[in-house]
Amino acid sequence: MQTVAIVQARMSSSRLPGKVLHRIEGTPLLGYLLERLRCAERVGTIVVATSDDETDEPIVEFCATTGTTCFQGSLENVARRYAQLLEAFPAEGYIRVCGDSPLLDPGLVDEVVALYAEQTPDLATNVFPRSFPKGQSVEVFGAQSFRSIYDQLARSEDREHVTQFFYRYAARYRIVNLSSGLDCAGESLAIDTTEDMESFRVLVTEMDRPHWTYGWKELLEMKRALTHSQG
């Protein structure tokens, strides 16, 4: 199945501005995520979807220097950005991930894509309900499914969060969910705060092999162990 991974990234994060290009051990957070996505067997084209606002020019420049495909659109209306991207990059499935998830497990991405390919729902996800840590969220949908909701996105939060509409009106759509089989919804491997950034830095310095070889379970165990030792 032909897929496009859409990586949402912007510099104007309200809680931690510029975090996606913050460097840890010489590599920006966005760089870690891209390296991990390239290890996923079911990911085809990778597109960083950022805005055409001048604040996001550093992301455009980073993509240019690393040979990463970049697409620019509306800063506030992310749904419109998606709609335009879908026209520019035709595919059978679109994988939505966030730029603040530098430790996203490529194997998990493959699992959600496989679920979508097998069942062809409106949306395949692993957050409905959430059983994985934050920072391990993956959603896969088709162009037709997205276009079916696009004109209904009247709320600004729906235009910003893109897939939220599916969950609010779940009875109207066929949504399939991948469960971890564990209760990890309260855990986090995402980067939202300076504390998260420091935790990520410590995790990376503790690694003795390439970061992309660590799956989410091993990372979570490492984080728990480090938190316990520091406590």
Each domain of the chain, given as residue ranges in start order, spans 3-230
pLDDT digits (tens, 9 = 90+) for 214-225: 999 999 999 999
* CA angle (205 as vertex; 200, 206 as ends), nearest 5: 95
pTM over 0.85: yes
Q: Report the pLDDT value the prediction gives residue 208, as an integer from 0 to 100.
A: 97
Q: Does the pLDDT value for residue 229 go beyond 80?
A: no
Task: Write out the two tokens for 174.
Answer: 């066929």
Report which of 14, 61, 66, 57 is spatially closest to residue 35, judged by C-alpha positions: 66
Cα 197 to Cα 124, 152, 177, 223, 226: the distances in Å are 29, 36, 29, 12, 14
pLDDT digits (tens, 9 = 90+) for 27-69: 999 999 999 999 999 999 999 999 999 999 999 999 999 999 9
Q: How confident is the model at residue 110 (pLDDT cuts 50, 70, 90)?
A: very high
126 φ, ψ to 5°? Answer: -130, 25
Task: Write out the two tokens for 231.
Answer: 């406590």
pLDDT digits (tens, 9 = 90+) for 169-207: 999 999 999 999 999 999 999 999 999 999 999 999 999
Q: Which helix (H) or strand (E) holds 28?
A: strand 27-28
Q: Which helix (H) or strand (E) holds 223?
A: helix 216-230
The CATH homologous superfamily to which domain 3-230 belongs is Spore Coat Polysaccharide Biosynthesis Protein SpsA; Chain A (3.90.550.10)
